[in-house]
Amino acid sequence: MTKRIVVALGGNAILTDDPSAEAQQTALQQTAKYLVNFLEMGDVQLVLTHGNGPQVGNLVLQQLDGSSAKNPAMPLDTVGAMTQGEIGLWLADALNEEIISRGLDQKVATVLTRTVVDANDAAFEQPTKPIGPFYTAEEAKTVRDEHPDWTIVEDAGRGYRRVVPSPKPISIMEADAIRTLAQEGVTLIAAGGGGVPVVRKDNDITGVEAVIDKDFTAAKLAELVEADELVILTAVQYVTKDFKKPTQEDIKQATVAEMQALVDEGQFPAGSMKPKVEAAMSFVTATGRNAVITSLDNIAAYLENGDGTVITA
């Protein structure tokens, strides 16, 4: 029986300490080795999504540095589309290379994806999505002086970053096309960076200055393409309770109600694990199907024996 799986890649699957194109391509070549394990199972329709927070922030800075009247910087939604293209290219190349090396017969395609959001979403009044590089406190002050319209905040004790609005996805314009291609057996890279955020009114489609959380978009995409499972890949093997405390405990399986109780306790940091848990819960609640949170390097163990954090209805 064919199984359709949507996989959301964390930033660690793409970006290392070196932000060069070569380094990111090298990271994705390693990522592809893990992902092709899904295809080796046989009878799997794979749809991949990915983040773009560092890349979109870096490209915005490049745009501003070179901006002039004759060569103006592009708006944030357009820059999001640019990074969808670059990461989609690199990941498709890496997947093709790994697929061929294993003797598999699999087509790969990247779909530029638009995600519909609500123009009245409260997120536009309270930016929360980090993009771009980390700054020291001194660097952050300089950035604020240079860009007084930006919101710069401390990011989980790791430094300071620019944050932008992150509205929740309502729908995905290319969902039907993605589902059709998946049914044809094409491995897809779609909704990169959460998709290009757009507001839709009648026949008018307008891009907006925002970056959508890729995990929430992955959950919405998985729902709309009728995926059998959502897999969210991050830096750790399990979601944990009481993280970094003597009472720390791995969560290997939990219901939506049990996870919601932990969210309500404040167990998960807003800037890291909380959106992943909430996105996984939203998919399970909408579909009744399972969602999994685990690490990229744990894929083989997950495929073999279900190892990871499994959230059920």
Question: What would the pLDDT profile of 43-96 be if each residue is shown by its tens digit?
Answer: 999 999 998 877 887 887 787 777 788 888 788 899 999 999 999 999 999 999
pLDDT of residue 268: 92
pLDDT of residue 136: 92
pLDDT of residue 12: 67
Q: Above 80 in pLDDT, residue 16?
A: no
Instruction: Indicate the burial class of 303 (C-beta count within 10 angstroms; 0-12, 13-18, 19 or more).
Output: middle
- The two structure tokens encoding residue 89: 């290219």
Distance CA 149, CA 165 (A): 13
Distance CA 140, CA 151 (A): 10
Q: Residue 69 has what DSSP assignment? A: S
pLDDT of residue 284: 98
Distance CA 260, CA 44 (A): 30
pLDDT of residue 30: 94
Provide the pairing of β-strand 160-164 with 171-172.
Answer: unpaired
- The two structure tokens encoding residue 181: 């291609």
Q: Above 90 in pLDDT, residue 304?
A: yes
Question: What would the pLDDT profile of 143-168 be if each residue is shown by its tens digit?
Answer: 899 889 889 998 777 889 888 899 99
Residues annotated as catalytic are 11-12, 129, 214, 276
Distance CA 301, CA 285 (A): 26
- The two structure tokens encoding residue 85: 């293209």
> What does the pLDDT average to over 190-205?
93
Please provide the average confidence, as pLDDT, over all residues in the chain.
Answer: 92
- The two structure tokens encoding residue 43: 């009878």
> What does the pLDDT average to over 272-293?
96
User: What phi and psi, each to the nearest 5 degrees, are found at residue 173?
Assistant: -65, -35
CB 166 within 8 A of CB 85: no
Whole-structure pTM value: 0.90
* Better-predicted residue by pLDDT, 269 or 92: 92
Distance CA 47, CA 108 (A): 10
> What does the pLDDT average to over 97-102?
97
* Better-predicted residue by pLDDT, 270 or 283: 283
Distance CA 85, CA 289 (A): 30
| Every domain of the chain and the residues it spans | 1-118+169-309, 127-163
Question: What would the pLDDT profile of 22-40 be if each residue is shown by its tens digit?
Answer: 999 999 999 999 999 999 9
Instruction: Find out if CATH 3.40.1160.10 is the number for domain 1-118+169-309.
Output: yes
pLDDT of residue 67: 74
* Better-predicted residue by pLDDT, 224 or 1: 224
Question: What would the pLDDT profile of 221-262 be if each residue is shown by its tens digit?
Answer: 999 999 999 999 998 999 999 988 999 999 999 999 999 999
pLDDT of residue 69: 84
